[in-house]
Amino acid sequence: MNQMEIFKNPEFGAIRAVEIDGEPWLVGKDVSLALGYTNPQKAIRDHVDAEDRTVNDSFTVNGTAITLINESGLYSLVLSSKLPKAKQFRRWVTSEVLPSIRKHGAYMTKEKLWEVATSPEALLMWWRRSTPTCSSIIFVTLWGWLSMWSCAT
């Protein structure tokens, strides 16, 4: 199990994430708050299927285990919400990210495209993150988007 990473975005705040058995898991509370939910536990309980969430004793805050959600859980929270922030996030994903992936095979800002075009290391890192499966490419793109914001701040 890897160490917890924190991804920061000026619009959506900080989201903690960890890789478990090769799969990214996000702190459910962070995602819920980023999407505008006022009661993260209820949002997770109401919108994320049991198989898409886990309480992990390896990560605690003040002695309380953290609820983690997987890729499917992230989509469940985003797509089931009518909150303004979730709508902004969903709009960004459906109007920019997914069309870009369909058109170019990836979602990258102009800066990231330049970096990948001019840096073999950046190209290799992008390729490793975006080759597993089509649905994983979308999640890796979102993960990378959070990473880019984390590096920029």
The pLDDT value recorded for residue 84 is: 85
For the CA atoms of 84, 89, 92, 95, the dihedral, rounded to the nearest 10 degrees, stands at -70
Q: State which residues form the domain around 60.
A: 5-152
And the tokens for 2?
């890897």
For the chain, the distance separating the N- and C-terminal CA atoms, rounded to the nearest angstrom, is: 26
Cα–Cα dist 9/151, whole Å: 10
pLDDT digits (tens, 9 = 90+) for 34-90: 899 999 999 999 999 999 999 977 777 777 889 999 988 988 998 888 888 888 877
Give the residue, 95 or 140, on which the prediction is more confident: 95
Q: Give me the DSSP letters along 3-43.
A: PPEEEEETTTEEEEEEEETTEEEEEHHHHHHHTT-S-HHHH
Give the residue, 40 or 136, on which the prediction is more confident: 40
What are the start-end ranges of the E strands in 21-124?
23-27, 53-61, 64-69
Residue 128 zone, left/alpha/beta (φ > 0; ψ -120 to 50; rest) = alpha
CB 32 within 8 A of CB 44: yes
CB 135 within 8 A of CB 4: no
Give the residue, 152 or 35, on which the prediction is more confident: 35
In this prediction, residue 150 has a pLDDT band, given cuts at 50, 70 and 90, of very low
Give the residue, 3 or 26, on which the prediction is more confident: 26
What is the tally of structural domains in the chain? 1
pLDDT digits (tens, 9 = 90+) for 79-127: 888 888 888 877 776 676 556 656 655 556 667 777 877 887 877 776 6
